[in-house]
């Protein structure tokens, strides 16, 4: 199984979790996700997710000038985003628990 399919429906959650730590911009979110182990995330996916979440009203956005390149579009969680994060985290946790239950019977010895 290609892990890219696993990302479906979870990238939002991962991005929200990263932003909960501190405000950030696309390029940096990609780096941080890769650092924590999500090595295969494409940059376009992250930018797309950021835009979707912003459009959905879960993020704030502000532009900051940068020393080392073009301006940066920072994103941060607002109340909607924080509650979305909590809800999604719970959904994920219970889903993951269900899957682990299902799998433990077939775990390789």
Partner DNA sequence: GCTGCTACTGCGCAATGCGTAGTACTGTGC
Partner DNA sequence: GCACAGTACTACGCATTGCGCAGTAGCAGC
The Cα–Cα gap between 64 and 45 comes to 22
* Residue 79: contacted member of its own copies, DNA, none (CB under 5 to 8 Å, by partner type): none
Taking CB under 7 A as the rule, does residue 32 contact DNA? no
Helix, strand or coil, per DSSP, at residue 80: helix
- Residue 78: both structure tokens together: 């607002």
CB-nearer residue toward DNA: 45 or 60: 45
Helix, strand or coil, per DSSP, at residue 69: coil
Taking CB under 7 A as the rule, does residue 57 contact DNA? no
Q: Which stretch binds DNA (CB under 7 A): 62-70, 83-91, 97-105?
A: 62-70
CB-nearer residue toward its own copies: 39 or 67: 39
The Cα–Cα gap between 46 and 20 comes to 15
The Cα–Cα gap between 32 and 44 comes to 15
- Residue 68: both structure tokens together: 């080392």
Map tokens 């930018």 to a residue: 47
Taking CB under 7 A as the rule, does residue 26 contact DNA? yes
Residues that bind DNA (CB under 7 A): 2, 4-5, 7-12, 25-28, 40-45, 47-52, 66-74
* Residues forming the site for its own copies (CB under 8 A): 1-10, 12-14, 17-18, 20-21, 36-38, 84-93, 95-96, 98-103, 105-108
């Amino acid at each position: 199984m290609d892990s890219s399919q696993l990302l479906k429906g979870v990238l939002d959650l991962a991005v929200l979790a990263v932003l909960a730590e501190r405000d950030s911009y696309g390029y940096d979110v990609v780096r941080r996700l890769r650092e924590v182990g999500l090595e295969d995330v494409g940059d376009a996916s992250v930018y797309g997710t950021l835009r979707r979440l912003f459009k959905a009203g879960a993020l704030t956005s502000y532009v900051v000038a940068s020393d080392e390149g073009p301006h940066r579009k920072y994103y941060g969680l607002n109340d909607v985003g924080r509650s979305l994060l909590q809800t999604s985290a719970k959904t994920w946790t219970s889903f993951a628990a269900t899957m682990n239950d299902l799998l433990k019977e077939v775990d390789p010895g």
